Amino acid sequence: MSAFDPVAADKFSFGLWTVGNPGRDPFGGPVRPTLDPVQLVEGLAACGAWGVNLHDNDLVPFGASATERDNIVARFKAAVKRCGMCVPMTTCNLFSHPIFKDGAFTSNDPAVRAFAVRKCMDALDLAHDLGSSVFVFWGGREGTEADACRSPIVAVRHMREALNFLCGYVKERRYDIVFALEAKPNEPRSDTYFPTTGHMLHFISTLQHQEMVGVNPEVAHETMAGLSMVHGVGQAMEAGKLFHIDLNAQKIGRYDQDLRFGSEDVRGAFLLVRLLEGSAGNAPYTGSLHFDAHAYRTEDQQGVWDFATGCMRTYKILKARAFAFDADPEVRDLLGGQGNTALNDALAAGWSLERGAALRAAVIDPDAIGAKGLRYERLDQIMIEHLLGARG
Ligand code: GCO
Ligand code: MN
Ligand code: MN
C-alpha cells in the first residue's frame, strides 16, 4: 500500500452523479453505460472512497411511488453498509424537471416554489434516513436570461423564504442536518443569483437560523468567476461556515469543466489543500472532502475509476507536499518574524483611548518599511520547487 492510497480517515467522497456520469454533453449523447447506484457504490469502495453522496433523483426516480422508493432505498442502504461506506451528504435535484426551467426557490410562480420546498422536505427525510449530516443546495436554475422578468430583490427574498421554511422543517423534525449553499456564477442560466461564495456568506447572515447554514464552495465555480478559490474558502473557514466542499479543476474562461482534482491549476490546488489541512498553522477543515467532478468523455468505465483514484491520490500527494513546504526551514525563516508584537497586540485588542494614544506615539518609519524587500519571489520559488518534487 502506498502512502497516497486513500483510507477512510481521509473522508473522501464522490457523488453518484460524478462517477455515474455517462459522458453526455450538449453536443453528444452518452459514451458509457449508466451504472446502477449499487454498482457505483461497489466501484467507489473498491477505489478506497469513504463516502457516496447523491441527489434524491440519482437514487429514487422522479415520481416513484412510496413502495418503489422504500425498496430502492433499502437496497441502496444495504449496499452502502456491505461496502463499509456512508452517505455524508444528500442534496435535492431542483434543476432537471421542466417545472424548474425558470428556477425553483426564486421562481415567480408560488406553485413552483411550493413544489420545490416540498421536494426538499422529502429529500431531507431521505437524507435523514441515509444518515447524512449535510444537505447541499445548488440553485442550478436560480437565475435568468431575461432580467426584466423578475426583480433581483424579489429573487433574494424568495430564496430567503424557502431556506427559512426548510430550516424550520429540519428543526421541527429534529434532524441532525446542516445546510451548505453552493454558488455558481452561470451555467445553465445566463446569470445565477448568489454567484459566488462571498454572496452566499452575506446572504446566510440574513437567515432566521443562520447557525445551521454554511457554504459549499466549488473550485470550478469560483474559477469560472475569475476568483481565488483559496480566498473564498479562507473567508468561509474564518467565518466558521465551511460546511462542505466541492473539489475539482477548471480552466478559467471555460464552461463548467468538472475536471479531475488538481489536473488544472496545480498551484491553486496545492494552496487549497494547504489551507484545508492547516499545514501553515490554521485550524484544519474536518468535514468530508467531496469530489464533484467527472471523467473525460474519452473514457470507458475503467477510465472513470482511474479518474476517481486520481482525484484522491493527487489530494494526498498535495497534502504531503504542503506539510513538507511548511516544515522547510527556509520557508519558516522567510515567514517568521512578523514585526512589532506590541503593535500587533494593540490592534488585535481593539479600540481604546490608551491604545489609540499608543498607536499615535509609536515610532514607525514608513520609508524604511517601504524600502525593504519582502522576499516573496524566493518564497514562491521554494513552493514551486516543492510542487515539482525538486525539494524536500
Ligand atoms: C454543477 C454543480 C452540481 C452540484 C450538485 C450538488 O455545476 O452541476 O456543481 O454538481 O454540486 O448538484 O448539489
Ligand atoms: Mn459544478
Ligand atoms: Mn458542485
- Average model confidence (pLDDT) for the chain? 97
Query: Where does residue 210 rank: exposed (0-12), middle (13-18), buried (19+ CB within 10 A)?
Result: middle
pLDDT tens for each residue of 97-107: 999 999 999 99
How many angstroms separate the alpha carbon of residue 69 from the centre of ligand 2? 27
Mean pLDDT of the 318-333 span: 98
Query: Where does residue 9 rank: exposed (0-12), middle (13-18), buried (19+ CB within 10 A)?
Result: exposed
Domain ranges of the chain: 8-327, 329-387
Mean pLDDT of the 219-243 span: 98
Of 23, 12, 8, give the one whose Cα is nearest residue 84. 8
How many angstroms separate the alpha carbon of residue 335 from the centre of ligand 2? 35
φ, ψ dihedrals at 137, nearest 5°? -115, 115
Which of the ligands is closest to the CA of residue 140? Answer: 1
Query: In the CATH scheme, what architecture does the domain 8-327 have?
Result: Alpha-Beta Barrel (3.20)
Q: What's the pLDDT score for residue 258? A: 98
Mean pLDDT of the 3-29 span: 97
Query: Which residue in 56, 58, 265, 292 is the catalytic one?
Result: 58
Q: Is 244 a catalytic residue?
A: no
Query: Residues enclosing ligand 1, CB less than 6 A?
Result: 91, 136, 138, 182, 184, 218, 246, 256, 292
> Model pTM?
0.97
Percentage of the chain beyond pLDDT 90 is: 97
Q: Is 386 a catalytic residue?
A: no
- CB–CB of 203/181 below 8 Å? yes
Mean pLDDT of the 254-279 span: 97
How many angstroms separate the alpha carbon of residue 344 from the centre of ligand 2? 40
For ligand 1, atom 7, name the residue with the nearest CA.
256
